[in-house]
Amino acid sequence: MAKVILDITMSLDGFIAASNGDPAPRLHQWFFAPSGTSTEVIDEQLNTIGAIIMGRRTYDIGDKVDGFIDNPFDVPHFVLTHHTPAELAKGATAFTFVTDGIDSALKQASSAAGDKYVCVLGGADIAQQYLKAGLLDELQIQIVPTLLGEGTRLFEHIGQESIELESTRVIDSGNVTHLRFRIIK
């Protein structure tokens, strides 16, 4: 099975979205206007990700801002949802809507990814489900030096079991610090 990595950006105080649930633009500037070593991290992502799993809210937000028209990730996207949308998002991205749970999405994404990674990228609920189920191999967290104060926390509902991590990489780009951890199973 393909390696499964949660790859997500969060504020220093642990939030991945603003208090209204919308993405905080400041959190994603490092990706859309990269500098320094962030360009290397982005290149690595583009070359190693073979499939993406996301939640319906992440899909809807991307669709709302036409985020899939110039999507740099030309890989199959699997959207966990209870209901398939009536219309597909604009752009050439291939979407598969999965209504039968995280295991099914992972099986389909792993098959599509081949020898590349499966990237779980959002939102928090999907990330927490995969983490609690023990289905993630690694975490790649982009920490942006900002404090949102409130919003959607990445690790809000992961249960009471301790999850041990091994730090495998730290890259500081000034406006973002890229952290990578292996999940010890």
The stretch 161-165 carries a mean pLDDT of: 92
The pLDDT of residue 129 is above 80: yes
Please tell me the predicted confidence (pLDDT) of residue 82: 96
The stretch 132-142 carries a mean pLDDT of: 97
The stretch 122-127 carries a mean pLDDT of: 92
Please tell me the predicted confidence (pLDDT) of residue 157: 84
- Which of 83-92, 164-173, 174-183 is predicted with the least confidence, judged by mean pLDDT? 83-92
CA distance 59 to 55: 6
Task: Give the confidence band of 20 by pLDDT, cuts at 50, 70, 90.
Answer: confident
Please tell me the predicted confidence (pLDDT) of residue 159: 80
CATH number at residue 167: 3.40.430.10
- Which of 67-76, 107-116, 175-184 is predicted with the least confidence, judged by mean pLDDT? 67-76
Cross-strand partners of 9:
142
Count up the domains in the chain and report the number.
1
Residue 32 amino acid letter: F
Q: What is the 3-state secondary structure (H, E, C) of 92-136?
A: CCCEEEECCCHHHHHHHHHHHHCCCEEEEEECHHHHHHHHHCCCC
The pLDDT of residue 23 is above 80: no
The stretch 53-66 carries a mean pLDDT of: 90
User: Could you tell me the residue range of the domain that residue 8 belongs to?
Assistant: 4-183
